[in-house]
Chains A and B, each alone.
Chain A
Amino acid sequence: MTEVIPTKQMPPGLQVDKVDDRIMTLNVGPQHPGSGHMRIIVKIDGDYIVDADPDPGYVHRGEEKMAEARNYITNIPHLERPVIHDSCNILYPYVLGVEDLVGIEVPERAKYVRVIAAELNRCIYIQYWLAIYGIFLGHSTMFMWPAGDRELLIDLMEKITGARVTHAYFIPGGVRNDVPANFEDVCLRQVNYFEQRIKEYADIFYDNPILKARTEDTGVLSREDAIRLGTTGSVLRASGVDYDVRVKEPYDVYDELDVHTNVLKSGDSYARSKVPWLDMLESCNIIRQALEKMPKSGSIRTKLKPNPKGGLGEVYRRVESGRGAAGCYIISKEKPEPYRLKLSVGSFRNLIALPYLLKGEKLGNMPAVYWSLNYWPVEADR
């Protein structure tokens, strides 16, 4: 492991090697308000963390094995369960992969509807994440505001899909149903208001002097280490790497839209918490562009045959989800069910950076660093 995880300069005077009475072992989680559905075994010497060992796996549900017993259509609802509040984006790579396997074309209008739904869902996810980041830092207003403003977009998604959280909206060949009649106007109004609302977060949260003093220069992940540890998404972009799947490997209609990648240089907790917020503002821009360019009428779905069979072969597609690159690898052997399905998710890849970042930090920084990794325990366990 030593060659994978880089060594870190620790503050002097800390006892690291020998474990005796001076080092206290804390079980942070799974029943801890600052852990989520996982455990971090933290060893502290005084106020400093000398060792941190994340222990996920409390909510492992065997999604990948379940997928092997179901056909390509019935796989849709359960594959979005790892991240129900980012359900469109976690389903996106699977749908793209199945389209490649079955070999069908997607109508132009459906592609735009997918992009709009995916961006709305990204905002919904980030709002949820931001709410928990706020309460982890003891900022209860930052818990309530995003959780309340999230309702705007949830209502919008309910108008489109009929469900508030678990949409099951994307299917191979397009989307399940068309958007309602006055959707463009309603969506534009909601998104404009939402953007104006999240800009106000800067006043109370991102420009807050105490927040800056607390999170700046804590848990610094350098550009080289971020690449070497294999992090993705907002963690990678906060460390100064210009990488976004939407730009680098555009899928559906992202190549026709002007997508700007938000990159911050510092790589500390503050930058990692700010990049998702900037991503939300960017999502609002993308939605407005997509609404403008979307064909006003047309088919939204290419019908599949009943019980469709994939060809002989394998496919790997990936998209930019709320937590980074989410990939889906499918092996098909001319059966209605996938032979093997593998989800590659951003949460698990960002978790690898946690022990490295927590070593040498103070105990008070633990929630700030942990949640800034844009990590969702259920998705990591799958």
Chain B
Amino acid sequence: MSVIAPKFRLGYFLKGIFDNAFWILTIVTLAGIPAIQIVLFYMDLPVIDGELLTAFLAFTWLFNPTMQIPLIKSLLYSDLFRIVVFPGFGFAALIAAGTIFVERKMLAKLQLRVGPFYCGKIEGLLQLAGDGLKLISKEIIIPAKADKPLFWAAPVLFVGTAAAFVALIPVAPGGWVVADLDVGLLAVFAVIGFFPIITILSAWSANSKFPFIGGIRALHQMVSFEIPLILSLLGVVILTGTLNLSEIVESQSNFPWIIFMPIGAIVFFTTMLAELERIPFDLPEAESEIVAGWLTEFSGMMYGLVQLGSYLKLYAFAALFVIIFLGGWTGPVFWPPLETELITKGTPIPNYAGDPVLTVFAPGLPLFDADPNEWVKQQQGELQYTSGQLLISGVIWFVLKTVAVIFFILLPRGVFPRIRLDMLLHIGWYKLIGLAFVNIFIALGLVYAGVLGPGGIM
């Protein structure tokens, strides 16, 4: 028996819209607007030019050319912007989406295929959006015997943990990080250790055999690879003497640590592949053995959320590799030489009546500088680069390096088959831990010989 869709009638359709609109308006008026007012009452609003910003003033200033830039700057330096947009979730999700696109096209080129081609006209750019829409529109099926609260919680926890990992990653100089912790690296280890727990929780709560085996395998993978992962990063900690990720990046302004610690970088890269569950270490999701592993029972957007989380995790791991071994955002500052007149006199922008109301000094400079007068100091020779220039240059370097690392993370998928469970433990404990200790001894030797560290060239 097939279910026939009910016939479309315009009257019913309009009635449905009006019914919905009535309820939406009622709920917003009675509950939404009071809630917003309560939130605004307790929120600390910024003070711009000695005037307290209120919601009404924000609307007024938005259309006032002289106040737009201070307003936008106050938004840029707010916590919300950092969490949602730039160094946080939005930036990571953008890179994750790019990663999925590049992965599909690169793998297709490697395998003499075309890859996504039709969706979005240009090389299948919108394929990911199409997939997302498909996943959202699919029905979510929960196994009858599943432990429902845990099973529901697992994808959300997975994305949340991945976002927590992203929050610890410093992206650009000047404190562009959501959570700038002094124990940043320890926090990273804590977050990484949380992923297998979510995996085993979701696998066990599904109450199904193949997910359970997948969850056990994920734990096995954690046992095999977590120790060399932590040990491989200790060499850098010994050399820099700090766990703060931003300070680790600042310590590499002359040279990246990969020059002195290639062994640690190799160990970290290998363990990174294992933690990301990518081929050749995708044992928890090995489809020819255990269907889809711990993802078997997920359907619809629950599966989509897990995928989103795993690609956020991929970005975060690649960024961590860049921060610790490749020098993060450090690199030659490239900034186009600006004409002096453009900076000192600026370009006046008139309003509709022809009166010059706003002077723009150089593209982007007033917007991204922490202090608006930095360009003056730069002209007088007190500053080499303004913080806006450093920010833009740093972000470009960071993204370039991260994309390069992501490329090398994606590449093994086209080259290697999957390894076996006993080989995993053998590689992790016999080989990688030994190599990680060699790396630590190299670091200790460099410090005690005085080559690096206090008194050395650093």
Contacts and interface: CB of A to CB of B under 8 A. Distances in A.
A214 B289 contact: no
A166 interface: no
A24 interface: yes
Contacts of A142: 417
Given A24-B209, A210-B280, A364 B111 contact: no
Contacts of B377: none
B417 A211 contact: yes
Q: How large is the interface on A (under 10, 10 to 19, 20 to 34, 35 or more residues)?
A: 20 to 34
B213 interface: yes
Contacts of A211: 417
B422 A362 contact: yes
B415 interface: yes
Contacts of A66: none
A148 B418 contact: no
A364 B417 CA distance: 12
B111 A145 contact: yes
B112 A148 contact: yes
Contacts of A136: 288
B273 to A, nearest CB: 12
A211 B413 CA distance: 14
- What DSSP secondary structure best describes chain A's contact surface? helix
Interface string B100-124: 0000000100111100000000000
Interface string B114-142: 00000000000000000000000000000
B423 interface: yes
Interface string B274-310: 0000011011001111110000000000000000000
A312 interface: no
A144 B113 contact: yes
A138 B279 contact: yes
Interface centre among B111, B213, B288, B419 (most CB of A within 10 A): B288
A136 B282 CA distance: 13
B352 interface: no
B34 interface: no
Interface in A113-158: 134-145, 148
Contacts of B416: 139, 208, 210
B414 interface: yes
A140 B413 contact: yes
A204 interface: yes
B421 interface: yes
B418 A140 contact: no
Contacts of B283: 364
Contacts of B291: 32-33
Interface centre among A142, A210, A364, A365 (most CB of B within 10 A): A364
Contact of B107 (A24, A33, A140, A366): A140
A256 interface: no
Nearest to A371: B288
B420 interface: yes
Interface of A: 24, 26, 32-34, 47, 134-145, 148, 204, 208, 210-211, 213-214, 362-367
Top-3 shortest CB links A-B: A138-B418, A34-B288, A144-B111
10 contacts: A137-B417, A138-B288, A140-B107, A141-B415, A143-B111, A204-B415, A362-B421, A363-B213, A364-B283, A365-B420
Given A145-B111, A214-B423, A364-B420, 9 more contacts: A33-B291, A138-B286, A139-B416, A140-B107, A211-B417, A214-B418, A214-B420, A363-B290, A367-B288
